[in-house]
Structure 1
Amino acid sequence: MSGEESSSGFLGLEGVEDVEDYIWANEGEGSLPWDRFSHVFDLVQNGNQTFRQNRLASFEQSINYYSRANNIKPNDPVILGNRCAAYIRISQFLKLRNPSDSEYRALNGLDPTIHAELALKDAEKLLSLQSTSVRPYNLKARTLLLLEKYEMARDTVISGLQVDPFSNPLRAILQYLERNLTRVVERQGHGRPERTDDFDCTLCLKLLYEPITTPCGHSFCRSCLFQSMDRGNKCPLCRTVLFMSPRTSAVSVTLNNIIQKNFPEEYAERKAEHESLTYLGVDLVPLFVMDVVIPCQKYHLHIFEPRYRLMVRRIMEGNHRMGMVAIDSGTGSIADFACEVEITECEPLPDGRFFIEVEGRRRFRIIRSWDQDGYRVAEVEWVQDVHPSQENGERTDLLELTTNVAERALSWLTGAKQAARQDRSKYEKLLSLERMMPSPQDPERFSFWLATLTNRRPQEKLDLLRIRDTRERISRGLIYLRAEEQGCRVQ
């Protein structure tokens, strides 16, 4: 094995050193008019020429040529195989790149995992077209190596060797797998590897949990790595610039299986610890401190602070819910009442930020709160209105009031939509409010929805959260609606 291979832990570029030339033949099924075939031929030849320049930029350019050829003649084995080889070369180039290079010349938009996944798609398509040829097995096995799916790579090699038992590229991959995987899981004592700090995360100094290996070769807990990257997109150890995100970065399956199998008790402790941060329990809520939200209200947020990026990632792994709370202007501390919101839409951005949409669900009273990893967590008491009595007709009266107010609210919405037809944004917002209208058979929830029809100040919304009388809240909602009508204002 060369020095390059041993230092990187990857096979070298043997087996994808060259691409196939296009044969000047255009007969049988899938044949094209000669002018289009000639264009495809030229595109492939240009792609091959740029590929053989053996530079990162030339590999990117060759992919462009092959993709244009594939658009004209889809599912052509030569085109798919050559493009797959180019994707592999880019991924290997990035994984073998000196970490210090990224400090001075960052490669924007290039990610070894993404290119390996694109290569895998082409390889699998090629395999479905040419299952009796060795080439697709060779290409697929190499993409699986780049994705650290070693067992799948071994299965692919074995399948390929059944087609051609004497294939040198496939036999080389198999020897590599057997030699290196045996070394990784080398047994000691009773057949288990010794527990050393090689299996620890260098950030939390605990056993790796859901390990991710960066392109520069360092492994961290998934949560630890992205918590570190919230403050900068560099490897915490060697400072290589990383282009990774939770959505596109896969856990290292082989390393995770080794840890889980050989250190089961410690792994179970780490799992429980992780889940305790993700699933806080029925009476514990992570808090986003910004504004007052009430049930049935929608709210859009741009998450950019590192502490809230971490919180949102944990929430999205759990029940998608958090508390929205404001600072009480009277006390200067967080308000005593707040609302649980559910993240209904979440758009992660490449740099770790999020655009999210939340919708108010339940309200609660904060019993106590504390800091956890930079953001607030609260022990809460869930709050509901005092239910009216059935015996003296209070419940019936309340339902009748709610039904009447619902009819008035719908009438108001109809007029507001008519007035807002020239304002697309305002009109769609009114439609959304109409769709969110609860049934009048749920007076408590309806009373909050009624208040969302008008713009309310934070203190007014906080007062609504504190009220436990549904009739009183409906009365306030009607007052707000009348004021809106008299002021000729539409939200």
Structure 2
Amino acid sequence: MSVQTSESAKTEEHKSFDIGEFPQEEFDPFRDAHKLIEILQCIKCERIFREPTTMSCGNTLCHRCAMQASIASSPSLKCPFPNCWRNHTSTELKIDVLLSKIIAIIQTELVLLTRRANQTIVQDMVYSTEICLDGQSCLGRFAALFWQAERGLLRLPHDENVIPLEQSTTPGTTGSDQGTLDLETFNHLKPLVRPELECHICYLVFYEPITTECGHTFCKNCLQRAMEQNPLCPLCRFPLVPEYQCNRVIFNLLNYLVPALAHQRREHVADETTFSNPNERFVPVFICTLAFPQLPMFLHIFEPRYRLMLRRALETDRKFGMVLPSREPGVPGLQFGTMLQIRNVETFDDGRSLIETIGTYRFKIVEWGTRDEYATGRIELVNDISPEEQQVLEDQELQQYSGVVYSDADEDGDYKWLEDRPMDSIPSSQLIELVRQFVHKLQSTESWRNHVADQRPQTQDPPLDRPDELTFWVANILPTHEYERYRLLGTTTSRERLKIVVEWLKELQNLIPQALLFIY
């Protein structure tokens, strides 16, 4: 029994849902098998797509069907889909690489599974495709319907009166058994198809997939950004035009095969343009090294997850957090970090980037998260207490040593006089002067002239008149382990940082400045 329908009716009804619409209930491989098959059928020949060709309008035909229609309506193809009706040039009729691969995977695996199950198969001499006899398959309803569509036995749109459940089941099995077979077949195919549903630019599940004239598929937003830099295909360098519509077949496959991932991706895209107080939102976090406020940092970004993080940062506020890796199992990074502001970016053809950043402010991570394989964190800003409060704390510390007499400081910058003196007993003004003496001594050395001045121009002008920045500047050049220097990030007074830095200078007095020859 067959049902004759117009091409207009086929195109209007054979899709289970359109762009922007999503399935309202979970996909059932047995109950909804015909819906998935409809997605893979050409409206012209009503077979499973052979060499699928996706046009700029987002609709797909078999390549042979498209070419025949193009010849009939020469010099261009009048699109048979009622949502388009445009004329397409022959340059658009290229094979859809992604869809071809997905269909090939399904065909190959169904043949292999059928052989393993000792199912009787015959050879289709026209298309050289192995198919099941009489539309029956020991692999379940989906496989049976697939092979029927492969032979052109399923008319569009599918009709439950034409395709009753019992017609596509294996003799001797119940509906429950058949549903189990479909589930097993579907679970076998899904992980094989899943890797193909990722964009080659962002390496995530497609969001609004666009298939170009050359047959390659990308996320719509990814392709638009790529074309802003170069109007060529990111994969084959074919010249592209700016107008493409979402690939309807791939869009529908996403929502049937990986609905949870597709939904998650839509939520992530919606969140990318949502901004709020940094204390209330999760920020991207690069777990790599130690960064300090007001100091530049140059980074080489090459991992796919951090390339994605960088792209998102460039599209929003151009910021991301930097923290050191944690030494505790199960904790991705240390608690305190520095927010980096992106200044300049140089991107290479292979996707790598060199970026120049500057530290802006310190933060504390109060909750860890992940997004598309890179870390995120909900943060709290780390600020110094007010100058008045800092002065009160300093007075309290100095008061404890008011009756104690210590030796005077060495005018030559020797730190031996500090060996028996508690840091709490030294006024902040004297601590600042000790740090400045170190900087002046460093600037007079050959190591500074030959190494620092040539290779680290940003260190030529230390902020001697800004004690808050000076401590971070000195910590950044000292040959002290970065996990030790990390202590500065959690401090809330400049005096506390000065004491830590001077303690380091005292411990390193025999190495400075000679050791600096080896760190630049």
Shorter-chain TM-score range: 0.3 to 0.5
The structure with more radius of gyration: 2
TM-score, normalised with respect to structure 2: 0.44
TM-score, normalised with respect to structure 1: 0.46
Higher relative contact order by CA 8 Å / sep ≥ 6: 1 or 2?
Answer: 2
